A and B are shown apart, each in its own frame.
Chain A
Amino acid sequence: MIREKKTGKGLFVFLCIIIFFISFVGSMVFKAAYKPWAKDYAVVWTDEIGKIYTDLSYGEGEAHKFDLYVPADDTKESYGLVVYLHAGGFTTGDKADDKEMLQWLCSKGYVAAGTNYSLKNEENPTASVYSQSEEIKASIPFVVEEAGKLGYQVDRMAISGGSAGGCLALLYAYRDADTSPVPVKMVFEAVGPASFYAEDWATYGLDKSPEAAAGLFGIMAGKEIKPEMLGTPEYEDAVKDISAYMWVNENTVPTVCAYGVYDKVCPFDSSKHLKKALEENNVIHDYIEFPHSGHALQNDDKCYIRYMDKVVEYLDTYMMQ
C-alpha cells in the first residue's frame, strides 16, 4: 500500500516536470513565432500579385546583384520604386532575407528591389560602409533601367532598410539623392546607425578605448582614423561620408525611422544626432522610440505597428502620383 502511494507520488512529480517542460518550451516557441499583427504587413505570394526576377546584375562584383519584384498590373504609365537594403552588420545578410517585406511592397503596387552589396569579410577585407554606400549608389540606375526594360517605367523612388541596410538607405537618401536617376521621395528605416561617435558607442567600451574606437570607425569609414583624431573637426570630416545625419538639410526627404532605447548593437545614443538634425532642419519625419526594446525592436509590438502604419502613411502620401 505504502509502495503504491510512493509510486503514485513519483509519477505525479514526473508528470508535473513534463508539463512544466512542455509549457516552458511551448510558450517560448509561441512567443517567438506568433505575431498576429505581422499578417497586416505580409502577403501570400501568388502570380496574381506579381513576378520576381532574381540575381539581376548591376556590376562586375559577385555581390553586385539585385532582385526585382514587379506587380502583376503592368498597365500603369509609371511606377514608384522602393529599394529595401538588408541587415547584417555590414558583414552578413542577403537580399533574400527581406523577401516578405519586398513581396508586401510589391503587393501595394510598387516595383520593389532588394539589393546586395559587398560584405566586409575575409574575401572582401577592404569593404567598408563607405564602399557599400557607393555600391548602392551605383546600383540604382541599373535597377531603374531594368524595371523599364520589363515594362515598368519608374519615375519616383523610396529607399529603406534595417540596421546596416537602414544606415545605407539613410546615406543614399541624404547624401546621394541628387545623383539618383529618379527623384527620391522618402526614406524609412529601422535601427540604422546614422552617426559614429565613440561616446555614443560606449556599450562597446569605445569611449574608454580611443584605439578601439578609431580602429572600428576607421574600418567603417574605409580610411585611417588615428585615436588622437577623435573629437576633432578632422574626425568629423573622416566620418562624414558614412554619417547620414551630417547630410540632413532643409531639402532632406521625409523620413520614418525607428530605434530601440536599449539597443546594444546600434547604440540608442547614436540616433540622437539624427533626431536633432531632422528637427533642426524642419524635415518631415517620424522618429519612433521603442522604450523597452533593443536592436530587434522585440519588446514593443505596439510601437512596431505604429512604425509600419507610418510607413504606409508616408508611402501613400509621398509615393503615390
Chain B
Amino acid sequence: MTLMKKRIIIVVIVAIAGVILGRLALRAFLNLMVGGSLFGGNFL
C-alpha cells in the first residue's frame, strides 16, 4: 500500500470519528441539560 493510500484511509477514519464523536458530544450535552440516555432512539 502506498503512503498516499494509507493517508487517505487515515483521513477517512478521522472524519468518521469526528462525525460520530460530534453527534455523541451534542447528545451528551443535551442529555446533561434536560435528561436523556446516551444510546438508543435516534442515530446517536
Determine which of A21, A295, A299 lies in contact with B40 in the assembled complex, contact meaning CB atoms within 8 Å. Answer: A299
Is A291's CB under 8 angstroms from B22's CB? Answer: no
Contacts A292-B37, A294-B35 given; indicate if A28 touches B22 (C-beta within 8 A): yes
Is A16's CB under 8 angstroms from B25's CB? Answer: no
Which chain B residues border A299 with CB–CB below 8 Å? 27, 31, 36-37, 40-42
Max chain B C-beta neighbours (<10 A), residue from A16, A32, A302: A16
A23 within 8 A of B: yes
- Nearest residue, chain A, Cβ from B21: A24
Is A23's CB under 8 angstroms from B42's CB? Answer: no
User: Considering only CB atoms and an 8 Å cut-off, how many residues of chain A contact the other chain?
Assistant: 33
Determine which of A19, A21, A24, A31 lies in contact with B27 in the assembled complex, contact meaning CB atoms within 8 Å. Answer: A31
Is A265's CB under 8 angstroms from B34's CB? Answer: yes
Rounded to whole angstroms, the CA-CA distance of A27 and B25 in the bound complex is: 10
Rounded to whole angstroms, the CA-CA distance of A31 and B18 in the bound complex is: 13
Give the secondary structure class of A's interface: helix
Is B15's CB under 8 angstroms from A20's CB? Answer: yes
Which chain A residues border B37 with CB–CB below 8 Å? 262, 291-292, 299
Could you tell me the distance in whole angstroms from the C-beta of B13 to the nearest C-beta in chain A? 9
Give the secondary structure class of B's interface: helix
- Nearest residue, chain A, Cβ from B31: A294
Is B34's CB under 8 angstroms from A16's CB? Answer: no
Determine which of B15, B22, B26, B42 lies in contact with A300 in the assembled complex, contact meaning CB atoms within 8 Å. Answer: B42
Rounded to whole angstroms, the CA-CA distance of A299 and B37 in the bound complex is: 8
Which chain B residues border A21 with CB–CB below 8 Å? 18
Rounded to whole angstroms, the CA-CA distance of A293 and B44 in the bound complex is: 12
Query: For chain A residues 183-197, which have a beta carbon within 8 Å of chain B?
Result: none
Is B11's CB under 8 angstroms from A24's CB? Answer: no
Could you tell me the distance in whole angstroms from the C-beta of A266 to the nearest C-beta in chain B? 10
- Nearest residue, chain A, Cβ from B22: A27
Chain B interfacial positions (CB closer than 8 Å to A)? 7, 10-11, 14-23, 25-27, 30-31, 33-37, 39-42, 44
Q: List 11 A-B contacts (CB under 8 A).
A: A20-B15, A20-B18, A21-B18, A23-B17, A23-B18, A28-B22, A31-B26, A290-B41, A293-B35, A293-B36, A302-B41
| 9 tightest Cβ-Cβ pairs between the two chains A and B | A294-B35, A23-B18, A27-B22, A292-B41, A264-B35, A262-B35, A294-B34, A295-B34, A299-B41
Q: What 14 new A-B contacts, CB under 8 Å, besides A26-B19, A260-B35, A296-B30?
A: A12-B7, A20-B18, A23-B15, A23-B17, A24-B21, A27-B20, A27-B23, A31-B27, A31-B44, A203-B35, A263-B34, A264-B35, A292-B42, A298-B30
